[in-house]
């Protein structure tokens, strides 16, 4: 299965621990993807959105989100500090059923691929 442009940007963001700026359902989102893969044949990502907007307004923007990547537009990498995903996930996730990659090196989801060590870390 060929990966979409959004999938490739999200993967690169995870590998390089960079932020993503994109549009999702018409709303500007600043986020860090944490888990990436597929659910029922669709590309999905569990992300931590730390800025931007959502259908519930700006105050609700800081939260964990499950994104369907076919709805992502104009995704590109940003500099700035990484948000979320440090250490083990606090609760189990149901967003991504078939996990391709997870920023958590001790992922309980048996990812198909491992990410390279983050910049500035050895591993």
70-106 burial code (b ≥16 CB/10 A, e <16)? eebeebeeeeeebbbbeeebeeebebbeebbbbbbee
Does a structural domain hold residue 123? no
Decide if 118 is inside a domain. Answer: no
Structural domain contains residue 119: no
Judge whether 58 lies within some domain.
yes
The whole domain housing 56 covers 5-102
Q: Over its length of 123 residues, how does the chain's per-residue pLDDT go in tens digits?
A: 689 999 999 999 999 999 999 999 999 999 999 999 999 999 999 999 999 988 887 766 678 899 999 999 999 999 989 888 554 555 689 999 999 999 988 899 999 999 987 666 554
31 lies in some domain: yes
């Amino acid at each position: 299965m060929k990966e979409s442009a959004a999938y490739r940007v999200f993967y690169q963001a995870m590998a390089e621990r960079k932020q993503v700026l994109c549009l999702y359902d018409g709303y500007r989102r600043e986020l860090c993807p944490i888990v990436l893969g597929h659910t029922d044949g669709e590309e999905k990502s569990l992300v931590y959105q730390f800025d931007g907007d959502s259908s519930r307004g700006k105050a609700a923007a800081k939260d964990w989100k499950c994104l369907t990547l076919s709805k992502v537009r104009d995704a590109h990498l940003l500099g700035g500090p990484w948000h979320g995903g440090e250490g083990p996930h606090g609760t189990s996730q149901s967003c991504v059923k078939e996990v391709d990659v997870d920023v958590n090196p001790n992922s309980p989801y048996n990812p198909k691929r491992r990410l390279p060590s983050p910049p500035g870390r050895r591993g």
